[in-house]
Structure formats: C-alpha cells, structure tokens
Amino acid sequence: MNTKEYVEKVYNEVLKRNSGEDEFHQAVKEVLHSLIPVFEKHPEYVENGILERIVEPERQFIFRIPWVDDNGQVRVNRGFRVQFNNAIGPYKGGLRFHPTVNLSIIKFLGFEQILKNSLTGLPIGGGKGGSDFDPKDKSDREIMRFCQNFMTELYKYIGQDMDVPAGDIGVGGREIGYLFGQYKKLKSSYEAGVLTGKGLNYGGSLVRTEATGYGLVYFVDEMLKGKGISLQGKKVVVSGSGNVAIYAIEKLQELGAKVVACSDSNGYIYDENGINLDTVKRIKEVERKRIKEYVKYHKEAKYYEGCRSIWTIPCDIALPCATQNEINDEDAKGLIKNGVIAVGEGANMPSTLGAVDAFLKNGVLFAPAKAANAGGVAVSALEMSQNSIRYSWSFEEVDEKLKNIMKNIYDNSVKCAKEYGYEDNYVIGANIAGFLKVADAMMMQGIV
C-alpha cells in the first residue's frame, strides 16, 4: 500500500465511524491529503498509527442542559465538550453557543484546534465545546441561568491542568464571567487558569479581546510583505461584525487599509468612504443590535439583506470572519474575477475546499484559518501563563508577544511548505508545521 492509499484508507475509516458529520469530514480531508509528503518522508509515523490516533478524539461528552426562562418555562439544550488531543499540553479550545452547534461542528473545530494550538509554539492541546443554546434576544438573567446549568455539568471534565475552555461565537466576556462564577462555587476554590477570556479585574489578559482580529491582520501583513506588497491603501471586505471582525477592522485601519464592508447574519453594509468603526462598536458591543442600524448614522452607506453577496464587492483583500463555509466555489470565482489578491480566514474553515482550491490555482495569497486566526488562542495561552505567575503584562507587552507569535507561524508555514515541495502554499505549510510537533510528541509518549 502506497502513502496515498494509506491516507485514503484512514479517511474512509473516518467517514465510516462518523457518518453524517460533514463539517468534521471536510476538516479531516483537507488536513490528511496535505500530509501525504510527510508520511513518505517519515514512515515511522505510519508504523506508530499517528494518523489513526490523531483523527479520533481522546474523549467526547454530550450532556443535557435544562434551564428556566424569564416566563417560567423549562427549556432544554444540548451541551458538548470534545477533548481531542493533549500530546503537547492541556486541551484548549473555545465554547460556542449557537443554534447550529452539533457534534460534527464541535469535532471539526476541535480537530482544527490541535494544529492551530501547535502552531502557536505554546504548550496547549486541542479541544472544543459548546451548546445549541442561542444567546440572541435572551435577557442577562436567562443567559446567567443557562451558563450556570451548563457549567454544573461541564466542570466535571475541565481544570487548569486538564482542559481550559475559552469563548467563541456567542460566548464573550459576560458568558465567561457567569461560567467562571459557577465553576468557582462548585469547586470551592479560585482556579483562575480554568477559563480564559476572563475580565481584567479577575485574571483576564489585556489584548485578549483584540487578539484574533489583530493576529489575523498581522499574519496577512506578513504574507503580503513576503511578496513585497503593502497593506497601505488596500480596499478590504470583512465579513462578520463580531469580535474577530471588529478588531481586524481596527488593525487594518491602523495600518492604512480601507475597509468598505462588514456584515452580520441578516445582511451587510457597504460604505465607500470606509467603515466607521466607532459606529459598528456602538451597535454591536453596546446596543447589541443588527448591523443594518449603521445606515441610520451614515446616510451615504447602503444596507443589503442577505450576507453572502458581500463577496461580490470588488476588493484587494477579503477577510471572512463570520462562520464556516461562508465562501463557496462561486464566491471564490467572483472574488478572483474582481481582482482579489489575498484572502485571510478569520473564522474557522470559512472557505469550502473548492473555494480554497480556486484561490490557490489562481495565485491568490491565501492565509488558512488554523494559521491566520491563531491569535486568539495564543493570547488565551498567554493569559494562562499570567494566571500561573500571578502577574499581568501590559497591553504593549502582550501585543508584541502576539505579533511575534503570528510572525513565527507565518515563517514556519513558509518553511514547511518549501521543504516539502509546496512553496507559497500556506495551507499545506501550516498543516505540516502544526502536525510535526504533535506527531513527534505522540511518538515520544508511546501508544496511549
């Protein structure tokens, strides 16, 4: 059996064991096929079953979460935590609260997290969790009650040296606070390192809020500079208007780029004069309203229902920062036709396999999620470090560490892509760079 047949055999086993989990299948397929040259060079990974083990979660938990809404009605949601791989450190990955959450999505995110966390160079393994609870239009008290009941089950499986969750879609500082308060009550101890994304006054880190968006722009900037291109004056479209999108826009504007569009799940705004970030922050972070409110403050801007057509806007750089598979094959072709030169993934797996293939075949610089959006988990790990030493670094110190981490991720991706014969393919480069560290650790620790 040659290496390609071996990889295909493992992938078919994943399909058989995890039927119906399309998102998980997609994530595994993208990674496995890029690792074929690694197995040709390192047959010892095949002999020790590294691939068969890395695609199977070490543990996965599904649990019921009953809670009572403000009208006294009993509601029931489903909770998940998948602990995928802890070869290089405790499981680390966010919690997502969104009605689309299911086991497939949590597993795809957890699998991606293994390599993403490895790429940061920090000692953290891969995991992910969440619930199909929808925080939208819920009162603070309802969200508090849900978070408390969620943690009443989750606390059994996490710990600062075991599994350290953080936030994700639908889980911000408010939710992390409620979750931490309940964990503290259940454990009768103050274990600050059990959750990251905490408030600054109880163990959180500066730059954590900005980290994913800033890190994305740092990576894209390095990618462009590697080709002698500047961000200055570039026209950018950013999907989403949550945490990642907002702080990507902030850093882009700081570096001289012009962001003309952003979106939410209902539609998108286009402002040819450049997005006013203060307005977006007020709408999304303070008022918690829909992005269409933007046009009330800026009459020259336009709002369009439906978020997918945001990719029809001509731009130099596209940053998908909303959700998985938001750019399909046709969207990619449209972006290419309109002259896009670079795409940076701020969300997790926002481009379909066909879209990625189209970008790469047409010479578009493409920054894959597991490399480009690793800034969030990197600063989460820095938060863990600060909790361990009972000390806080300044904003400038953390930001500089983040910038260096993103540069190292870029450099290692470039190095591995070139070494294995795929120069300028940052998808393959990032997959290989992340995989090698985890695989070597697994080899050293035996078959466990």
In angstroms, the CA 106 to CA 96 distance is 8
Q: Cα–Cα distances in Å, from 179 out to 63, 83, 138, 243, 393?
A: 16, 19, 16, 19, 24
In angstroms, the CA 313 to CA 319 distance is 12
Q: What is the dihedral of CA 347, 351, 353, 355, to 10 degrees?
A: -160
In angstroms, the CA 27 to CA 4 distance is 18
Per the document, the length of the chain is 448
Sign of CA dihedral 244, 247, 251, 254: positive
Sign of CA dihedral 42, 120, 55, 365: negative
Q: Cα–Cα distances in Å, from 20 out to 30, 152, 221, 407?
A: 17, 30, 38, 37
Instruction: Please state whether 170 falls in left (phi above 0), alpha (psi between -120 and 50) or beta.
Output: left
What would the two tokens of residue 12 be? 């078919």
For this structure, is 128 an active site residue? yes
- Are 442 and 53 in contact by the 8 Å Cβ rule? The answer is yes
- The helix (run of H) or strand (run of E) holding residue 94 is strand 91-97
What separation, in Å, do the N-terminal and C-terminal C-alpha atoms of the chain show?
Answer: 25
> CB-based contacts of 213: which residues, under 8 Å, 6+ apart?
243, 244, 245, 246, 247, 248, 249, 250, 251, 321, 346, 375
In angstroms, the CA 217 to CA 372 distance is 8
In angstroms, the CA 68 to CA 433 distance is 46
Select from 432, 238, 231, 221 the least CA-distant residue to 350: 238
Alpha carbons within 13 A on the beta-carbon side of 448: 9
What would the two tokens of residue 255 be? 């570096």
Catalytic residue, candidates 92, 107, 116, 128: 128
In angstroms, the CA 379 to CA 69 distance is 34
Residue positions annotated with a catalytic role: 128
